[in-house]
Structure 1
């Protein structure tokens, strides 16, 4: 059963989603990715074209080309890289977004987006050996240290800095992901130091020991935000599980894998809905679901977490089979499309195809396929 599910997942990804986005979601004249697509694969203009979206597409196709020999996809990469560096890197820093006509919209530098500069440029470099990527990665790293680092630890959300803004764990999680990729691509000790710093931050501030939950929203000095500090996302628990095991290969520390196990237990006990799928949000104090809708990305992060968790092979296969079955039944649609949101009862919401979501779908499915190739007869 697992083999057929994996084959259909692989076909959906490479012959459906990636194929159609490359054909319809990329502006061939300018080289950039559209921000959003309709379900009939038409450009769905939303009033902005974000750096984040471009980087997620660059990452996804760069990584996909490392798995599959696809010259037509590889031909897209340098134009996309050139578009990113020429349009978003202004006055030695990254801006947030362009308008639909590609004029400048928002000139803030966003920590979350910078994380995906690191991730995407690392994979682009591994595939193409384009040394320009290394230069921009180093500039990004130094800009974060020089302009966005907070005295209380971690990074501010954006530059110019607003010290009163709510601080989130989420950009730091993706910065960890970006720095892991950067170190794997370069073996640069600067990136290893950043990994260590972000891991320490997670243990010290993001993890709420009393409830064994990962918290999301904080004040400037890392106190829980009084209004929304109780909100917890099971999908981020799973995302951290996968990242903690990845980072542990670079900076071994039992405290990090212990944290991963605690986050796994909390999310599997309280984040999985009885009728399948994963809640968007639960209360970190009562563990009751706050947002019972189910976006696609939390279950793809669950897949990634399953592949690295120290559980038995039979349990892994059982969890993977059930999760993939749920994904194929409720999320994946013909011709490479997908349902972005489900209601509590698993009916699909009417929603276009975000240019940021293929990153989650691609990575979740490819991590499971890679695990199965090593550990089963797939």
Structure 2
């Protein structure tokens, strides 16, 4: 019974977030940085692309074609507002081209749209977006840090791997094969720590580890699992990475993830516990252990969602006043995958 209640809660939380998205789209045709306010004039491209992924993931789960229509409408509005002079823009009212992190989510959104609708226009758009980044496969571009620090960072490249592999295996983008291989080699040679069997998050220009992020370890496990499910060859062993992640990550008594660590795996912040690393941990745990972690899931949902079913970005946030539009991507990726392949008492979840 407890497992059934947990599943019902997960579905309810997805539905609550979905309603916020639908309400804001109904008013503005776009989402803002936050779903609980007005759409600011300079809202990021990333917010739109992650919301498209959220809508399509949940539409598949709920078998609701209306949300596919909403995703398509949001993409059309996004293309109108952010695709200028042959490139995608980082923000609505700025002329700055999108960074690699944002481009990765454009590719991912276009891939989802093509997979679900089979509209060849999305395949054409996907190929066009890919052509913008394919010539830039250099260490300095792929691993450019999102902050101003003089280092290399794997975050954007991880999401590019996510996008390219999804496009290749799920959206017929077979022309991306060589780029995926090249990306794998560059990620492994720069960030894989052979003695620890984990990926560094940031490294110096001399290849010394600056920091690790446990949430990204668990996210990588899920991405590698996805490649294997598509009959592909994972360039890192997901089981070895998961075992090492469990060994070096710091979890609370209720299995919440303290994400950022220094070069010797000591947590950098004991207070600011964010929602997304724990979502990635729960997803990876489900994929590797082949069952829904009911107790940890219940603790997580009680900790990170308020009595209205709205997500908190940080554990200590209360009450929830703002709901980030980018968080739905993590909630959907985690919960939908868990509901799709998880088991309770060795029985497959039937949704």
TM (normalized to structure 1)? Answer: 0.82
- 1:294 is displaced (CA, Å) by 1.3
| 1:354 and 2:324 correspond | yes
SS at match of 1:325: helix
What does 1:264-343 align with in structure 2 at a 5 Å threshold? 264-276=242-254, 277-285=256-264, 287-292=265-270, 293-309=272-288, 311=289, 313=290, 316-317=291-292, 320-343=293-316
SS at match of 2:236: helix
Counterparts of 1:46 and 1:114, CA distance in 2: 21
- Tell me which residue corresponds to 1:37: 35
- 1:362 is displaced (CA, Å) by 1.1
Counterparts of 1:360 and 1:244, CA distance in 2: 17
- 1:254 is displaced (CA, Å) by 6.7
Counterparts of 2:32 and 2:51, CA distance in 1: 10
| 1:190 and 2:185 correspond | no
Counterparts of 2:321 and 2:258, CA distance in 1: 18
Q: 1:173 aligns with which of 142, 158, 162?
A: 158
- Tell me which residue corresponds to 1:133: 122
Unaligned runs of 5+ in 1: 99-103, 159-163
Q: 1:73 aligns with which of 63, 67, 91?
A: 67
| 1:88 and 2:82 correspond | yes
SS at match of 2:94: strand
- Tell me which residue corresponds to 2:13: 12
TM (normalized to structure 2)? Answer: 0.88
Unaligned runs of 5+ in 2: none
Q: 1:123 aligns with which of 98, 104, 112?
A: 112
| 1:223 and 2:207 correspond | yes
- 1:77 is displaced (CA, Å) by 2.1
- Quote the RMSD (CA, aligned, Å): 2.7
Asked whether the 8 Å contact 1:61–1:77 carries over to 2, the reply is yes
- Tell me which residue corresponds to 1:101: none
- 1:27 is displaced (CA, Å) by 5.0
- 1:361 is displaced (CA, Å) by 0.7
- 1:133 is displaced (CA, Å) by 1.5
What does 1:229-268 align with in structure 2 at a 5 Å threshold? 229-250=209-230, 252-253=232-233, 256-257=236-237, 260-268=238-246
Alignment size in residue pairs: 343
Change (3 A) 1:198 1:351: farther
Change (3 A) 1:211 1:46: farther
| 1:109 and 2:88 correspond | no
Change (3 A) 1:108 1:167: farther
- Tell me which residue corresponds to 1:26: 25
- 1:301 is displaced (CA, Å) by 0.6
| 1:155 and 2:142 correspond | yes
